[in-house]
């Protein structure tokens, strides 16, 4: 990752055949062997417990993916780590909270058409709530971009980075004020009921108060919704970036802004659009996260934001598939650490991954070493 | 201004009483009440004052203590060290009191306790739970300082007893936030007490206050298959953990301490859980029923834990003065050390650190609300 002002000399890259790289590589291979040994042993000992952990990790990983996409897209196009992204995620959760708690927005179809099938009505109501959250996040992100980042477009990159941290703190501590979101932990009312199934001999829907048998794997509709929405978002992004005009413009702006401008691309609009898309996904992630872990607070975006950032770096910042794969790995790493080592270790492991990636392969899994542009 | 009003009313009533009684030993006994009537927690202060004044009124109606009429002096100590110290100096030096009920907040009670202890004035805090209120930095118990509430870690002991004896559970799982002293204290005491009783701790998991995803710990709980999970944290963590447990179809009951006591507790998720607390207005103990009736008749509102503990603290102090047989703080302190007093919130005796050994109230969480379950003696 290169956050510094473009250096005069090419940055020092660990050459593939140098001694340091060999040590790094050997260390990584050793680490991978130890980790896979522990995991495989646990898989054999208690396969069910292992599968439960994988499922828990998937739920986290897919939410991280939604946030990581925003980090990676914005970085890809303006080379800015938008640290306020985690707080946009928080705002998404709060907007849906107010929509549900104050205005019953998730029940509007039932109020207008009382005879409607309740499943469809709740579905439409929930989607409306999510869309509203996404819209508010988009407006906020575009405003932030215009007010805080655009004036710094030609300033050194570090200035924009520090501004991003400032914006992040502003959102967090403005939100802590009593007349905004307050510092309380707020119980979140879910727009729909949780339905869980357990899989032992076939799939059974769990009744309330029922305890699943010992050899069952429990899956909830929240997990399925999170996975499906994230996959939909990914497909949409692939289509957007590779098959549409704005996608071409985004790729062009990412590759070379001055030339793109000469070719008639409205680079500023493309950048705003990128921020908007990233914020929309963060808003969606915020709502899904609040539904999955139904207690919200103003600082809820800090840790998921940082972990999604690690995921983006791990996958190769700037790469969309990289962000997704990185997020899934982060989700599993957290879940496995919490289950097989200890829960307080999981944050430490997450940031250790960041350090290791930066030391051994700064470009991440999918990233390519940065080419010097003319 | 408020205290002046109360004072004048009381002086008037004292004069009236003196006029009617006449035959008693005469004289008056001043008791200072330091309560936060303004500042961050004024409702705490009002409840404390009302509870203490009710006790004094009842004693005066019975003829006072040792034939002396009790004169309360109410001061606003604001739950803040400086005003509390000023109030303590005022009542000790100007009014010449030998007994102080208060303060409510530990951070105000601690500086007051230093002044009171140096002046050989008995201080009885109704609700300050910090251990340093009765013990100084060197671990020496302050001779003249007592409290009427149990300290936090004590709840772990009562919780263990309730889980083992009343609920008949033998296997417990403990969740603990290692960075939070309150949680750690309760959890440690629960573990020791539960194993001493003969129960088994089948697992323990720690987490941090920043965690939102508890699925890994819940998977461990599912593996360990305990009868009960002890989670002595505040309501915010309780809400997250219990909601996720319910989503996973786990029916194991959770149990905690007074950190659960909040209007924001998610009743739907935490239903079936229990927590320990100082007092519940729904308590069915005869003394508690009488106290609630008297309090409601006088003030037209339901007493809370603060009112009950202030009432207990005042009664406890006056009973000790009567047992000592003289207005002498050394004798009263000795009497307090030996006392076994029937209070609203349970029978109170003191340990060597002047912390009461007393019953705790167990509350049960249901989807309709928090209900009184029982009172458990240690």
Chain B interface test: which of A67, A178, A184, A294 (most B C-beta within 10 Å): A294
- Please provide residue B172's backbone torsions phi and psi, each rounded to the nearest 5 degrees: -125, 150
In A, minimum Cα distance to B179 occurs at A344
Tens of pLDDT, residues B207-236? 988 888 898 899 999 889 999 999 998 888
In terms of Cα–Cα distance, which of A88, A93, A45 is closest to A69? A88
Nearest to B213 among A60, A211, A212 (CB): A60
Distance from CA of B246 to the nearest CA of A (A): 9
Tens of pLDDT, residues A243-281? 999 999 999 998 888 999 999 999 999 999 999 999 999
Residues of chain A with Cβ-Cβ distance to B209 below 8 Å are none
Nearest to B219 among A52, A209, A334 (CB): A52
C-beta atoms surrounding B225 within 10 Å: 12
In B, minimum Cα distance to A207 occurs at B249
Q: Which two tokens stand for residue B290?
A: 């009488």
**CA distances (Å), origin A342, targets A48, A334, A335, B217, B220:** 19, 10, 10, 9, 11
Check pLDDT > 50 for residue A331: yes
Residues of chain B with Cβ-Cβ distance to A335 below 8 Å are 215-216
**3-class state of residue B256 by DSSP:** strand
CATH number belonging to the domain at B2-150+283-359, selected among 3.40.50.2300, 3.40.50.150, 1.10.8.60, 3.40.190.10: 3.40.50.2300
Q: Are A289 and A230 in contact (CB under 8 A)?
A: no
Contact B240 A294 (CB under 8 A): yes
Q: Which two tokens stand for residue A338?
A: 């919490």
Query: What is the pTM for the complete model shown?
Result: 0.79
Q: Give DSSP secondary structure letters for B302-361.
A: ---HHHHHHHHHHHHHHHHHHHHTSS-HHHHHHHHHH--EEETTEEEEE-TTS-EE--EE
Residues of chain B with Cβ-Cβ distance to A296 below 8 Å are none
pLDDT at position A3 is 44
CA distance A78 to A93: 26
Contact A347 B212 (CB under 8 A): no
Contact A212 B220 (CB under 8 A): no
Chain B interface test: which of A48, A86, A185, A199 (most B C-beta within 10 Å): A185
Q: How many helices (H) and strands (E) does chain A have?
A: 13, 5
CA distance B265 to A230: 31
Q: Are B308 and B279 in contact (CB under 8 A)?
A: yes
Q: Are B172 and B189 in contact (CB under 8 A)?
A: no
Tens of pLDDT, residues A334-352? 999 988 888 888 889 989 9
Burial-class residue A158 by CB neighbours within 10 Å (0-12, 13-18, 19+).
exposed
Q: Which pLDDT band, with edges at 50, 70 and 90, does B167 fall under?
A: very high
Distance from CA of B210 to the nearest CA of A (A): 8
* DSSP secondary structure letter of residue A215: T
Percent of chain A surpassing pLDDT 90: 52
Residues of chain B with Cβ-Cβ distance to A289 below 8 Å are 212
Contact B206 A46 (CB under 8 A): no
* Residues whose CB falls within 8 Å of the CB of residue A39, separated by 6 or more in sequence, listed in order: A50, A336, A340
Long-range CB contact pairs, B82-89, < 8 A, 24+: B83/B39, B83/B108, B84/B34, B84/B108, B84/B109, B84/B111, B84/B112, B85/B111, B85/B112, B85/B115, B87/B32, B87/B34, B87/B112, B88/B32, B88/B34, B88/B112, B88/B115, B88/B116, B89/B115
Q: Please state which CATH number belongs to domain B154-277.
A: 3.40.50.2300
Contact A295 B178 (CB under 8 A): no
Residues of chain A with Cβ-Cβ distance to B222 below 8 Å are 52
CA distance A178 to A157: 35
Contact B249 A343 (CB under 8 A): no
Nearest to A293 among B207, B244, B251 (CB): B244
Residues of chain A with Cβ-Cβ distance to B246 below 8 Å are 194
Residues of chain A with Cβ-Cβ distance to B176 below 8 Å are none
Contacting B with CB below 8 Å, chain A residues are 46, 49, 52-53, 56, 59-60, 184-187, 194, 196, 198, 206, 209-212, 218, 220, 222, 289, 293-295, 297, 300, 302-303, 334-335, 338-339, 342-344, 347
Tens of pLDDT, residues B321-378? 999 998 999 999 999 999 999 888 888 999 999 999 888 899 999 998 888 988 888 7
Residues of chain B with Cβ-Cβ distance to A218 below 8 Å are 248-249
Contact B250 A211 (CB under 8 A): yes
Q: Do domains B2-150+283-359 and B154-277 have the same CATH topology?
A: yes
Contact B249 A210 (CB under 8 A): yes
Q: What is the mean pLDDT of chain B?
A: 88
Q: Can you point out the beta strands (E) in A214-362? A: 217-220, 295-296
Contact A293 B240 (CB under 8 A): yes
Q: Which pLDDT band, with edges at 50, 70 and 90, does A17 fall under?
A: low
The full set of domain ranges for chain B reads: 2-150+283-359, 154-277
pLDDT at position B23 is 37
Chain A interface test: which of B247, B266, B366 (most A C-beta within 10 Å): B247
Distance from CA of B367 to the nearest CA of A (A): 13
Edge-to-edge strand ranges of the sheet holding B360-365: B200-207, B171-177, B228-230, B254-256, B274-277, B360-365, B370-376
Residues of chain B with Cβ-Cβ distance to A46 below 8 Å are 223
Residues of chain A with Cβ-Cβ distance to B210 below 8 Å are 302-303, 347
Percent of chain B surpassing pLDDT 90: 56
pLDDT at position B115 is 93
Contacting A with CB below 8 Å, chain B residues are 178, 205-208, 210-213, 215-217, 219-220, 222-223, 235-236, 239-240, 243-244, 246-251, 264, 266
pLDDT at position A99 is 94
Distance from CA of A363 to the nearest CA of B (A): 29
Question: What is the H or E stretch that residue B277 is in?
Answer: strand B274-277
Contact A335 B215 (CB under 8 A): yes
Contact B208 A347 (CB under 8 A): yes
Chain A interface test: which of B209, B212, B233, B265 (most A C-beta within 10 Å): B212
β-pair type (B99-101, B69-76): unpaired
Contact A343 B205 (CB under 8 A): yes
Contact B217 A343 (CB under 8 A): yes
Chain A interface test: which of B176, B211, B215 (most A C-beta within 10 Å): B215
For the residues A215-228, what does the mean pLDDT come to?
A: 89
Contact A52 B222 (CB under 8 A): yes
Check pLDDT > 60 for residue A374: no
CA distance A373 to B119: 80
Contact B264 A53 (CB under 8 A): no
pLDDT at position B116 is 94
Contact A185 B264 (CB under 8 A): yes
pLDDT at position A193 is 86
By mean pLDDT, which of A118-132, A188-202, A257-271 is the weakest? A188-202
Tens of pLDDT, residues A38-89? 889 888 888 888 998 999 999 999 999 999 999 999 998 888 999 999 999 9
Chain B interface test: which of A45, A56, A199 (most B C-beta within 10 Å): A56
Nearest to A335 among B205, B216, B222 (CB): B216
For the residues B190-204, what does the mean pLDDT come to?
A: 94
Chain B interface test: which of A46, A59, A184, A187 (most B C-beta within 10 Å): A187
């Amino acid at each position: 990752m290169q956050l510094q002002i473009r250096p005069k000399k090419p940055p020092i890259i660990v050459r593939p055949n140098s001694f340091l790289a060999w040590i790094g590589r050997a260390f990584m291979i050793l680490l991978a062997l130890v980790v896979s040994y522990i995991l495989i042993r646990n898989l054999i000992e208690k396969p069910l417990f292992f599968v439960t952990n994988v499922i828990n990790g998937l739920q986290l990983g897919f939410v991280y993916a939604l946030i990581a996409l925003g980090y990676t897209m914005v970085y890809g196009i303006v080379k800015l780590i938008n640290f306020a992204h985690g707080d946009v995620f928080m705002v998404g959760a709060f907007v849906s909270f107010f929509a549900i708690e104050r205005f019953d927005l998730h029940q509007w179809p039932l109020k207008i058409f009382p005879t409607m099938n309740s499943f469809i009505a709740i579905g439409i109501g929930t989607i409306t709530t999510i869309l509203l959250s996404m819209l508010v996040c988009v407006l906020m992100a575009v405003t932030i971009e215009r007010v805080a980042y655009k004036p710094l477009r030609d300033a050194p990159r570090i200035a924009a980075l520090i501004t991003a941290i400032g914006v992040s703190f502003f959102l967090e501590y403005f939100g802590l004020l009593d007349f905004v979101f307050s510092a309380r932990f707020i119980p979140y009312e879910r727009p729909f009921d949780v339905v869980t199934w357990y899989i032992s001999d076939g799939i059974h829907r769990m009744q309330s108060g029922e305890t699943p048998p010992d050899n069952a794997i429990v899956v909830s509709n929240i997990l399925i919704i999170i996975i499906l929405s994230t996959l939909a978002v990914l497909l949409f992004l692939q289509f957007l970036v590779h098959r549409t005009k704005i996608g071409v413009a985004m790729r062009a702006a990412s590759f070379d802004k001055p030339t793109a401008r000469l070719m008639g691309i409205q680079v500023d609009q493309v950048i705003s659009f990128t921020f908007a898309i990233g914020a929309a996904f963060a808003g969606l992630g915020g709502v899904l996260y609040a539904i999955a872990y139904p207690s919200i607070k103003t600082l809820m975006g800090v840790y998921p934001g940082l972990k999604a950032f690690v995921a983006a770096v791990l996958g190769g910042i700037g790469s969309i598939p990289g962000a997704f794969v990185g997020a899934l790995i982060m989700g599993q790493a957290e879940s496995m650490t919490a289950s097989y080592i200890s829960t307080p270790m999981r944050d430490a492991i997450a940031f250790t991954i960041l350090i290791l990636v930066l030391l051994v392969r700064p470009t991440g899994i999918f990233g390519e070493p940065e080419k010097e542009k003319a | 201004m408020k205290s002046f009003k109360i004072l004048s009313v009381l002086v008037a009533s004292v004069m009236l009483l003196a006029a009617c009684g006449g035959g008693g030993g005469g004289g008056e006994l001043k008791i200072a009440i330091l309560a936060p009537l303004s500042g961050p927690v004024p409702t705490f202060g009002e409840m404390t004052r009302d509870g203490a004044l009710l006790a004094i009124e009842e004693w005066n109606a019975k003829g006072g203590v040792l034939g002396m009429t009790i004169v309360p002096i109410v001061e606003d100590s604001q739950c803040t060290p400086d005003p509390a110290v000023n109030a303590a100096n005022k009542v000790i030096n100007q009014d010449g009191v030998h007994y102080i009920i208060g303060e409510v907040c530990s951070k105000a009670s601690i500086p007051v306790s230093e002044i009171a202890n140096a002046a050989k004035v008995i201080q009885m805090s109704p609700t300050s739970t910090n251990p340093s209120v009765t013990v100084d930095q060197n671990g020496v118990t302050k001779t003249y300082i007592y409290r009427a509430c149990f300290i936090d870690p004590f709840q772990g002991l009562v919780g263990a007893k309730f889980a083992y004896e009343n609920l008949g559970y033998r296997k417990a799982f403990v969740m603990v936030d290692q960075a939070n002293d309150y949680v750690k204290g309760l959890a440690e005491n629960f573990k020791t007490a539960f194993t001493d009783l003969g129960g088994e701790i089948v697992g323990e998991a720690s987490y941090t206050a920043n965690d939102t995803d508890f699925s890994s710990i819940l998977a461990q709980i599912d593996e360990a298959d305990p009868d009960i999970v002890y989670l002595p944290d505040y309501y915010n963590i309780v809400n997250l953990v219990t909601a996720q447990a319910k989503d996973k179809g786990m029916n194991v009951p959770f149990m905690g301490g007074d950190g659960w006591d909040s209007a924001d507790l998610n009743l739907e998720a935490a239903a079936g859980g229990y927590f320990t607390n100082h007092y519940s207005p729904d308590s069915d103990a005869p003394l508690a029923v009488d106290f609630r009736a008297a309090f409601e008749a006088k003030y037209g509102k339901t007493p809370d834990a603060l009112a009950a503990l202030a009432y207990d603290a005042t009664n406890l102090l006056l009973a000790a003065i009567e047992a000592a047989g003289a207005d002498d703080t050394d004798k009263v302190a000795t009497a307090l050390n030996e006392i076994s007093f029937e209070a609203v919130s349970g029978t109170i005796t003191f340990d060597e650190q002047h912390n009461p050994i007393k019953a705790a109230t167990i509350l049960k969480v249901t989807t309709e609300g928090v209900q009184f379950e029982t009172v458990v003696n240690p």
